[in-house]
């Protein structure tokens, strides 16, 4: 007869994912990569916004895209048609991307130093909220053809996001979507969430979105510059001592 005993574990269930996310985050910091995790429900216009965004940004900075979907390579094909490197990750039965998949995808894609990496998550406002990919920020995209109460219906996602993009605002004249109410609901869940209203089709509001990306990129690049300067100073010191 074996003796039963109690063993303390005290470990996070998502610990394995978080460990991979920490590795990704370190890699992104070392290489000066701004990684953004784009989340939304299916049909919010994520891929259209992304195609437009990478098309507009690629002339002035290096961009790469990881596309997550259960099946097909349609989205990665659309991105590659803009001339930007893209890799499709199919989750099969899975409903979200995890940090391990992203680590592999980044290795395979060969993301350039000081670039912007967009990760388009599986269209799902539930599961991707819980999985840290090592990104700098989650960006939640909500289109005005959806319900304005989605922030309350899917609070975890709006709590996890730093920025909310309200897409397809060119359609507002034809809809009864109440922007103020939607923003009020989002801030109820996350008082600090930033908001950008835009239309990926007409281009309205895109400058604010690019401005936000530049702001985040500045932060990543200044951290990298600081790290490199510290490293350089250490090497110079070693050199001076040895000389």
Partner 1 sequence: MHEMALTEGILRLLEEQATTQRFHHVRTVWLEIGELSTVDPEALRFCFEAIRSGTVAEGAALEIIRTPGQAYCMDCANAVHVGQRYDPCPDCGGDSLQVTGGDEMRVKEVEVE
Q: Rule CB under 8 A: which residues touch partner 1?
A: 2-17, 94-96, 98, 126-127, 129-131, 152, 155-156, 159, 185, 187-189, 191
In contact, 55 and 65? CB cutoff 8 Å: no
Indicate the helix (H) or strand (E) that contains 194.
Answer: strand 194-197
Least distance (Å) from partner 1 to the CB of residue 11?
A: 5
SS (H, E, C) 90-135: ECCCCCCCCHHHHHHHHHHHCCCCCCEEEEECCCCCCHHHHCCCCC
In contact, 189 and 195? CB cutoff 8 Å: no
Maximum C-alpha span of the chain: 75
The Cβ of residue 48 has, within 10 Å, a number of other Cβ atoms equal to 16
* 111 vs 160 by CB, closer to partner 1: 160
* 86 vs 193 by CB, closer to partner 1: 193
Least distance (Å) from partner 1 to the CB of residue 4?
A: 5
* 26 vs 153 by CB, closer to partner 1: 153
Helix (H, G, I), strand (E, B) or coil at 88: strand
43: left (phi over 0), alpha (psi -120 to 50) or beta: left
Least distance (Å) from partner 1 to the CB of residue 154?
A: 10
* 159 vs 208 by CB, closer to partner 1: 159
* 8 vs 174 by CB, closer to partner 1: 8
Q: What is the CA radius of gyration of the chain?
A: 20
């Amino acid at each position: 007869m074996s003796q039963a005993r109690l063993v303390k574990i005290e470990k996070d269930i998502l610990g394995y994912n978080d460990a991979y996310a920490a590795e990704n985050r370190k890699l992104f910091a070392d290489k000066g990569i701004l990684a953004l995790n784009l989340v939304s429900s299916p049909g919010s216009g994520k891929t259209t916004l992304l195609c437009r965004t990478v098309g507009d940004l690629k002339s002035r900075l290096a961009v790469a895209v990881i596309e997550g979907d259960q099946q097909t390579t349609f989205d990665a094909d659309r991105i590659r048609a803009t001339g930007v490197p893209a890799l499709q990750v199919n989750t099969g039965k899975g409903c979200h991307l995890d940090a391990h998949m992203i680590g592999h995808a980044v290795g395979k894609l060969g993301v350039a130093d000081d670039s912007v990496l967009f990760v388009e998550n599986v269209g799902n406002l539930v599961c991707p909220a819980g999985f840290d990919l090592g990104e700098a920020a989650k960006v939640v995209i909500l289109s005005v053809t959806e319900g304005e109460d989605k922030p309350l219906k899917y609070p975890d996602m709006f709590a996890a996001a730093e920025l909310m993009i309200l897409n397809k605002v060119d359609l507002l004249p034809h809809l009864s979507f109440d922007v103020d109410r939607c923003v009020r609901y989002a801030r109820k869940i996350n008082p600090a969430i930033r908001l950008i209203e835009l239309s990926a089709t007409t281009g309205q509001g895109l400058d604010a979105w690019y401005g936000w990306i530049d702001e985040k990129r500045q932060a990543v690049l200044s951290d990298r510059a600081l790290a490199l300067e510290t490293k350089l100073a250490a090497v110079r010191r070693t050199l001076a001592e040895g000389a």
